[in-house]
Amino acid sequence: MKTDLRKPRGIIRSMAGENWNLTLSAPSDSLSFYVEHYWSVRWDMRESGPMVQENLPHPTIHLVFEKDNTKIFGVVSGKFTKSLEGRNRVFGVKFRPGAFYPFYKKPVSDFTDKEITIEEVFGVPTKPLEDEVFSLRSESDLVNFAEDFLFERLPEEKDENIILINRLVERVIEDRSILKVEDLSKMFGLGIRNLQRMFNQYVGVSPKWVINRYRMHEVLERITEEVDWAQFALDLGYFDQAHFIKDFKRMVGKSPEEYSKSIHSTQFT
């Protein structure tokens, strides 16, 4: 399974400059089956004032260390919005799709759009862990801490379903022709109901949601191009342009044309 440390996909509103920094770090070989990457965000908005980061999240679980708000976050089915204020930092573990299930041992859909505590899953109090994380300064120390914590709690055996789920998700990302669950079912020779049950248990969202989300990521990447919206909607599997615009506006908060104009105005101001 691949680890991708390029700029994250699905960014709606991104911040740049010296007052905000994102660092991604790859896991060790012993944890790469479960962890896609570690991430650290540091910001200082004391002079500029609060700024907002928005994105359309991936079908993944995050363990996030934040002062007085350390939680395990389920898949966010809609738009994720975070206001960054003052000076602070956050450190997180991004699990691979399906790879948090062996730690949780219950359907991951139980906490989609919700958060649970470290204590609920790992049986250890959150506060001492949080204090230790925020006593560390370097990215390498943060990664080593997370690696030690997870390595001590690794499941006894690797679940083969996680390999299959990541093959399915990677195929959805890479193959733009996949627009329906039926397409995925035929490619892998798996029944639709079987796919739905597996994604509900391991991933937390349906395979249809995963397909739609990655097609929408593609929209965000291409939206600054000169686009024939009607054809673009058909290429993404929509019945017509109106349904595509409605979906986009529901997720992003603006129509595709409005969003495209806002991106251009940001780039040239």
Encode pLDDT of 125-151 as tens digits: 999 999 999 999 899 999 999 999 999
Token code pair at residue 116? 């649970």
pTM exceeds 0.85, yes or no:
yes
Task: Give the torsion sign (CA, 26, 27, 28, 31).
Answer: negative
Confidence band, pLDDT 50/70/90 cuts, at residue 153: very high
Label residue 50 exposed, middle or buried (CB < 10 Å: 0-12, 13-18, 19+): exposed
For 74-90, the pLDDT digits (tens) are: 999 999 988 889 999 99
pLDDT at residue 244 is higher than 90: no
Confidence band, pLDDT 50/70/90 cuts, at residue 266: very low
pLDDT at residue 196 is higher than 60: yes
Domain boundaries, the chain: 11-151, 223-269
**Of the candidates 257, 212, 242, which has an alpha carbon nearest to the alpha carbon of residue 78?**
212
Confidence band, pLDDT 50/70/90 cuts, at residue 267: very low
**Is residue 55 within 8 Å of 11, Cβ to Cβ?**
yes
State the pLDDT at residue 265: 52
- Of 99-108, 130-139, 198-207, 240-249, the least confident: 240-249
pLDDT at residue 261 is higher than 90: no
Interaxial angle between packed helices 126-133 and 139-151, expressed in degrees from 0 to 180 and rounded to the nearest 10: 150
**Is residue 171 within 8 Å of 164, Cβ to Cβ?**
no
